[in-house]
Amino acid sequence: MDRGRRNEEMRKSIQIVILVCYSLYSLGLIVVSIIEKWELWAIPIIVIGTVTSWSIYISGQFVFRFRVFVYAGFISLAVFYYGSHVEQFNNAALIFVLAMMLFSLTEEKPVLRIFFMAYAMLLGYHLIMILTNIEQRGQFNVGTIILDCMAVTIADRVASYICEMFAVSKSMADELEEEMAEMKEKSEDFMANISHELRTPINVVTGLSGLLLNSEKEEKKKADLSAIQGAGRRLFSRIEDILDYTEIDTGSLVLSEDEYRISSVVNDISTEFRLQKEGAPEIIIDMDANIPARMVGDSARIKRIIRHLMVNAVKFTDGNGCVNLHVFARKKEYGVNLCIEVTDTGIGMTDEERKRVIEGLYQIDSGRSRRVEGIGLGLSIVYGFTKKMGGFARIESELKNGTKVTVSVPQKVIDEKPSVVVDHPEKLEIACYLRNDKYKSPAVREYYTTMIMHILKGLSVPIHRVVEFDELKRLCAKSQITHIIIAEEEYLENTEYYENVKSEISVIATVSPGFRIPENSNVTYIRKPIFSHSIVNAVNRKMAVWEFDPETSGKKLVFKNVNTLIVDDEEMNLIVAKGILAGYGMDADLAHSGMEAVTLCEKKKYDIVFMDHMMPDVDGVEAMKLIRQNAGSDDRTAIIAFTANAVSGVREMFMKEGFDEFLAKPIELSELERVLKKLLPSTMWEYVTVKEEVDEASALSGYNGTDMPMNFGMLNQQNGVRICRGSNEFYAEMLFEFDREADGIISELQGLYDARDWDNYRIKLEGLKLSSRIIGANDLSRKAGEIERAAEEKWEAFVVANHDDLKRQIDAVRSDIMRLYGGSAS
């Protein structure tokens, strides 16, 4: 609320208090007049004064000061009438004092003179009445009159002082508010600069690492580049959290109002959570098929809400548990309430932790968690976004029994059609085969069953849920099954059946991110985590949800004959952007300043211009306006604000200035593709088939990835290859490295053991635990972990009892490596 409106509301409140007190006093005065049989002609005057005062207030006529003088005049007249009666003269002084105190709230000192003069006139009236012998001197107490006069005089002084103090306080408050507004403006400028300065180098780190990652063939270097890219993205996420929290805390958060599809938002979340660490919980996404296809709201903030809730849930849930995301909508007269529920089977919270966790900068005790990355702002940001959207958030949790967070935000609806629609449902009959016994947690089975039932209910398609393979075969033989939906484990157990099933049945397999798709397979694959839209698009054989997953779909988005210009004063940003666009078949021209961009646009017609904002001399906004001015009204060049300044409300600012779209650095490929497909005609882009690259045969001595022995005492090479991202060559390098380091590891462990240096002994075991797990030596990894925990707790007896066994297991792993290569790997 601005200052003027706030002052007006305060004045209205003061007037209501004055008029209510005046009305009650008038009512009492009328009653007393009738009972005491005073002059009845005065009653209509009292009524007229009260009605007139209320009429002035209700009509809103005249300025505040005039109204206050009118109120004071009628009240003084009523009190004078009351005090004109000898027996009530002394009481009138008290009423004048109360009136002065009440009217001091108006800050109008002159109005106090009305009451002071009215009391003086009342004194003069009674003096005249005494001199004319109408009233008797003995009816008055001189001492009481003196005290009354002193009281009225003091009240006049005190009320005047209060008026002055109110005026000074108001002036100071106005000055403070102006200073705060100035500080807020400076803060917003500072945040914009910080956003730009931090996002720009992060854009280079994540962008260049991504470009190098796409072209790198050596698996070890790819792993290093992935780590660099992951660290950059994690830092970028932390910066976003700090900026979001600051905007919420300072009240400068601005929401966008754009049309969006919730299926795209959920698909982005699904894509983000595909590449999870080993040992992460099962992710289950249950999106109601009947959510309206298109809604209006801040889709970016909604995505951030879901991401924060999911990250928190995954963080505090172990690999045997699950995280369930349920997205649905409740119809309302204004549109829908979009409901987001995230439930996990993790460590849970106590009531005290639940109350504190939403206050910000607080995390559940890291000693009870698996991964406590982050800075503890997630739920505070969720609550801030939700409140700004006019919704609510609720946390339900029980210690050791998981947590459920529910968020509901109102959204306008543009298209009420369901967001997920299956083609020709009357022709479909689906069999869903998922083994119940493969999940350790009953919650995983329950949530998958619930998701399938929601899909069944939402799509009105016959779906048969089976839990045994023989039952599936009988069903396919007897019924008109058109589609079979299975998971990776079910596919691997009976691959031949699914690849050779009768032609009228389509098989859809949900697979993990690391699953390597067989060549010439007849099965349709979709990456986990899945949701209703991905399943339905697989059934419909559409590209809507596959477009961000070229490996699964075998398709890649490319742009044809698009003249592109990238404008940025940072050389590395130009290199990154050019490299990313080259991945889509786009060759871009580069401009290092706003004026250079204007000159290039005069010489050449561009379809797309990516314009940085903060540049010296001519900034992005000025350059965009000059390009528009020089090109004329018929120009169709799409200019995108491409900037690291991504604070709240900046998109709206750029769109208002005249940009066609906005992209924040670092670049999110899904957002880039969305923007380009929105701005470019469909004739300029398409999805083309790409051939899967075949790994080069391993050239390592004595090693052949296809002929590797499958049975060892300590090594599970299948698991090791999977952890090494499916690369046999990378796995072999890890085995070599382990074998080379083994003697040194044993020697160091023995030295620390002899010295009883359990702290460093534990640290050494932590490295051994990780390296052995990477090569598939699970028993060794487990043993190292157990001794590590014992060393941490100074349980010396356990360490002593297992130390020699640990060394024997290391030697056993080395023996398996030697068997694999027919001799020492080193």
Tokens 């009523």 identify what position? Answer: 78
What share of the chain in percent tops pLDDT 70? 84
Q: Could you tell me the two tokens for 262?
A: 């919730």
Identical fold for domains 422-545 and 557-689, yes or no, is yes
Residue 600 confidence (pLDDT) above 90:
yes
Residues in the chain: 826
Is residue 787 within 8 A of residue 765, CB to CB? The reply is: yes
The CATH number given to 557-689 is 3.40.50.2300
Compute the distance between CA of residue 15 and CA of residue 63 in angstroms, rounded to an integer: 12
Q: Is the pLDDT of residue 702 over 60?
A: no
Cis upstream peptide for 666 (omega within 30°) = yes
Task: State yes or no: pLDDT of 826 exceeds 50.
Answer: no
User: Is the predicted pLDDT of residue 28 greater than 80, yes or no?
Assistant: yes
**More confidently predicted of 504 and 154:** 154
124: confidence class by pLDDT, cuts 50, 70, 90: very high
Residue indicated by tokens 């666009």: 581
The whole-chain average pLDDT of the chain stands at 80
| 3-class secondary-structure state, position 524 | strand
Please list the residues that pair with 260 across neighbouring strands: 295
- pLDDT average, residue stretch 281-296: 89
- What is the H or E stretch that residue 367 is in? none
> Can you tell me which residue has the tokens 């940025």?
568
pLDDT digits (tens, 9 = 90+) for 741-784: 788 888 888 888 888 888 888 877 876 776 777 677 878 888 88
- pLDDT for 549: 46
Q: Which residues are within 8 A (CB) of 343 and not within 5 positions of it... i.e. 6 or more apart?
A: 313, 323, 324, 326, 402, 403, 404, 405, 447
- Of residues 119 and 272, more confidence is placed in 119
**pLDDT at position 698:** 36
Query: Residue 692's pLDDT is what?
Result: 42
How far is residue 102's CA from residue 278's CA, in Å, rounded to a whole number? Answer: 72
| Rounded Cα gap, residues 765 and 784, in angstroms | 6
Q: Where are the domains of the chain?
A: 3-140, 255-419, 422-545, 557-689, 717-821
List the one residue out of 324, 563, 539 whose CA is nearest residue 447. 324
CA–CA separation, 740 and 725 (whole Å): 22
Give the other-Cβ count within 10 Å of 712's Cβ.
Answer: 18
Query: Can you tell me the distance from the alpha carbon of 191 to that of 626, in angstroms, rounded to the nearest whole number?
Result: 27
Report the relative pairing of strands 638-643 and 608-611 from DSSP bridges. parallel
Distance (Å, whole) CA 37 – CA 554: 101
pTM over 0.85: no
Whole-angstrom Cα distance, residue 655 to residue 586?
A: 25
Query: At 255, is the pLDDT very low, low, confident or very high (cuts 50, 70, 90)?
Result: confident
What is the Cα–Cα distance from 219 to 95, expressed in whole angstroms? 91
**Is the pLDDT at 616 greater than 80, yes or no?**
no
Which has the higher per-residue pLDDT, 697 or 63? Answer: 63
- Name, of 148-157, 173-182, 536-545, 775-784, the range with top average pLDDT: 148-157
DSSP SS3 for 396 = strand
Judge whether residue 552 has pLDDT over 50.
no
Inform me whether the pLDDT recorded for 457 exceeds 90.
Answer: no
Mean pLDDT of 20-28: 92
Kindly give the pairing relationship between strand 403-418 and strand 392-397: antiparallel
d(CA 215, CA 766): 33
Pairwise pLDDT comparison (651 vs 134), residue with the higher score: 134
Q: Are strands 555-559 and 564-567 parallel, antiparallel or unpaired?
A: unpaired
CATH number of 717-821: 1.20.120
Range 510-532 average pLDDT: 81
How high is the pLDDT of residue 413? 92
Q: Which of 219, 270, 210, 262 is nearest to 579 (CA)?
A: 210
The string of pLDDT tens digits covering residues 60-74 is: 888 888 999 999 999
658 DSSP assignment: T
Residue 74's pLDDT is 93
SS (H, E, C) 695-718: CCCCCCCCCCCCCCCCCCCCCCHH
Q: Which two tokens stand for residue 363?
A: 């995390």
| Structure tokens that stand for 271 in this block | 């894509």
CATH code of 422-545, in short, is 3.40.50.2300
Dihedral (Cα; 696, 700, 702, 706), 10-degree rounding: -20
Q: What is the DSSP string of 494-517?
A: THHHHHTS-TT-EEEEEE-TTPPP
Distance, in Å, from the CA atom of 24 to the CA atom of 8, rounded to the nearest integer, reads 24
Contact between 409 and 391 under an 8 Å Cβ cutoff? The reply is yes
Determine which of 205-209, 406-410, 509-513 has the lowest per-residue pLDDT on average: 205-209
Over residues 310-324, the pLDDT tens digits come to: 988 888 888 888 899
Of 191-200, 369-378, 564-573, the one with minimum mean pLDDT is 369-378
pLDDT of residue 302: 93
Radius of gyration of the chain (CA): 39
Q: What is the pLDDT of residue 693?
A: 39
DSSP 478: H
Share of residues in the chain with pLDDT > 90 (%): 20
pLDDT digit string, tens, across residues 357-416: 655 444 554 444 444 455 567 788 888 889 999 999 989 888 888 899 999 999 999 988
From the list 738, 718, 737, 716, the residue with the least C-alpha distance to 728 is 718
Candidates 3.40.50.620, 3.40.50.150, 3.30.565.10, 3.90.1150.10; correct CATH number of 255-419? 3.30.565.10
Q: What is the pLDDT of residue 554?
A: 55
Nearest to 554 by CA among 684, 688, 694: 688
Each residue of 798-812: pLDDT tens digit? 888 888 888 888 888
